[in-house]
Amino acid sequence: MCCPLFEYHAEGKQVETLYFMNLPSYEYLYRTGCVYMSGNIVSMAFNLASGTGSDYAETGRDAVRLLSDVAGYGDAAAVILTVAIVLLLILKIRWGRDPENQFKVEFYPPEGIDPLDAGYIIDGFIDEDDMIALIFHMAAKGYLDIREFPGSEGQREYSFRALEFPENESEGMKTFYRLFFDIPEGMTEIKDDEGQNISATLEEGGKRVEAGKRKLRKIVKRSFRGKKSFFSISSRGATFAGTMIFLAALLAIALLKEWGRSNTDTLSIFGSGYASQLQVVVAWFLEFMLPCMMVTCIPSLAALIRRIRYKNSGGKILGSVFIALIYIAASIWLIYIMCFGPNGFGNGGVTTLLIALIILAPFVIGSMRSRTRWNSSVNYRFSQFREFAENADTGKLKEIMDEDPSYFFLVLPYAYQFGITKKWARNFQDIDIDPPEWFISDMNYSSGNQFDVVTMSSMLNNLEAGFRKTMESDRTKQAK
C-alpha cells in the first residue's frame, strides 16, 4: 500500500506529492531526505515529535537522494548479513572440527617429535622459543654441551660445543645444527682443522640461525605433507569458502548502499554538505577497499588465535597484534561508513548484524581449518603431556625419576615451549637431581650450590634473553 508522506507547495501551488511503498518506522527519518522538483533539491528536516517538517529548496541541483533505509534497502542488507553469518556457522560445524581423540595421560612428549617439529604441530609456526628449546633438547640428547661463564661486565654468557652430529634426527634439527655451528651443507664433521670440537658463542650461533631462519622453517614445514599435513584438504576448502562469503557479504551491502542512493548527490563523509567528485571516488574506494583489507588480515588473525590457544608465548602473540589492530581499525571505519555516515543505512538491525559478522568472522574462519587425523592425534598427546607437566604430582615424578634420572631435562625444553618453565622446575624442588653432564658453569649461584633446578630454569630464561637480543640485533642490521 502506498502512503503519502508530505506535499510541497511553491507559491501556493502544489508541485508534487511524495509516496513511499511500505514506509518503515519514522525513527529512521532523522536524516536529510531529498525529492526531485524541476531541477531543484528539496530537503526536509523532520520533526519526529509531531511528524511534520520544514521545507526549503536549494537551486542548481537535479539529482534525487532517497534514504537507503526508507527505500527498503536496509531490509535487504540485513538479509545478506544474516545469510552470511548462517553460512559461516554451517561451514564451521560441518568441516571445522578436529577429529576426536581418546583420552590418555602422557608422561613423555610424543616419540620422535623434537621441539622444532612440536612447535609446527602445535600452532603451525616456528619461532625463537622453539629454537631455544631445541638447543636444550639437543644438549639433553648428547649432541652438544653448554658452558656458562661470567662476561666482562659480570653478566652471564654462554658458549656451545658440538659433540655429535644428529645424523638420525629430523631434517629440521640437522639444518639448525649446521646453521648454529657453521657446518657446510652435506657435511657431518664436528672437528676443526686442529682436531678440536667446533664451538660457537651465543652471538655467533644466533646470527647464523637468524640468517637461515626462513630456510629452516621451509624445511620443517616440508616434513609435514600428506597424512602429516597440518590441515585437512576439506577444511582448507571450507576456509576459502568462508573467506569468500565474508568478503562477498561486505561488498554486497556496499553495492546495495550505493544502489539505494543511485542517481543522487552524495553527502560528504568528511564534513557537512555535499561531496565533491574526489570525495565520491574516495568514499567508493573505502567501501570496497576496507573489506578487502579485512579479508587479508584473516590468516594472521587465525594464526594469532591458534597461538593464544595452544601456547603461552608472548613472542608468538605480539607478532600478529599489529595485524589485529589493522583489522579493528578497518572494521570501525567500515561500520561508520555503512551505518552511521550521512549516506549510511541508518538501520539498527543492519548495524547489529554487521558488527556481529565482523566479530565472528576471524574466530569462525580462523578456527575452520581442521587438523588431519595424524596432526590432531599428536597435538592432543602434546596437550595431555602439557597438562601432566603443569600439574604433576610429586609422588608420580619421583616414581618416574627413579626409572629415568634424565626425565627432568628431557621434559624441560617442552615445558619452556609451553611457557611453564618455572612451574616445571618448582615441581622438583623436593626431588634430588644430579646436574647434567652437558652443563658446565663457572658461575656462583645465590643458593651457594653450583646447581639446582630453579636456577637451571633461570639460566634458560637468561639464555632466551641473550638469544633473542642477538637475533633482533641481526634483524635490525639486515633491515638497514
Listed ranges 25-39, 69-83, 157-171, 340-354; the one with the highest mean pLDDT: 157-171
Give the single-character DSSP code of 338: I
How far apart, in whole angstroms, are the C-alpha atoms of residue 15 and residue 133? 81
Higher-pLDDT residue of 380, 464: 380
In 138-180 the beta strands, taken as DSSP E runs, fall at 144-150, 156-162
Q: Which H or E element spans position 180? A: helix 171-181
Evaluate the CA torsion angle 312, 315, 320, 325 in order and state its sign. Answer: positive
pLDDT of 312 strictly over 70: no
Work out the average pLDDT over 133-151: 91
Work out the average pLDDT over 7-17: 37
Helix (H, G, I), strand (E, B) or coil at 71: coil
Work out the average pLDDT over 432-459: 69
CB atoms within 10 A of CB 465: 11
Tens digit of pLDDT for each residue in 343-384? Answer: 677 778 899 999 999 999 988 988 787 888 888 889 899 989
pLDDT of the residue at 88: 94
Tens digit of pLDDT for each residue in 41-85? Answer: 333 333 333 333 333 333 323 223 334 343 457 888 999 999 999
Confidence at 10, pLDDT banded by 50, 70, 90: very low
Share of the chain above pLDDT 70, in %: 71
pLDDT of 219 strictly over 90: yes
Start-to-end Cα distance in the chain: 70
* Helix 115-123 with 277-310: angle, nearest 10 deg: 130
pLDDT of the residue at 275: 53
pLDDT of 161 strictly over 50: yes
**How confident is the prediction for the chain on average, in pLDDT?**
76
> pTM for the whole thing?
0.65
DSSP 429-455: TTS--PPPTTEEE-PPPTTSSS--HHH
pLDDT of 285 strictly over 80: yes
Tens digit of pLDDT for each residue in 414-429? Answer: 998 888 888 888 888 8
Q: Which H or E element spans position 244? A: helix 233-260
pLDDT of the residue at 62: 29
Closest CA to 290 of 253, 317, 319: 253
pLDDT of 245 strictly over 60: yes
Higher-pLDDT residue of 247, 461: 247
Higher-pLDDT residue of 271, 208: 208
How far apart, in whole angstroms, are the C-alpha atoms of residue 320 and residue 301? 7
pLDDT of the residue at 75: 84
pLDDT of the residue at 399: 92
Share of the chain above pLDDT 90, in %: 31
Work out the average pLDDT over 398-404: 92
To the nearest 10°, report the CA torsion of 122, 123, 128, 130. Answer: 10
Q: Regarding beta strands 144-150 and 439-441, do their DSSP bridges make them parallel or antiparallel, or are they unpaired?
A: parallel
How far apart, in whole angstroms, are the C-alpha atoms of residue 107 and residue 293? 45
Tens digit of pLDDT for each residue in 313-324? Answer: 444 455 577 888
* Helix 202-211 with 453-479: angle, nearest 10 deg: 50
Closest CA to 38 of 59, 14, 7, 66: 59
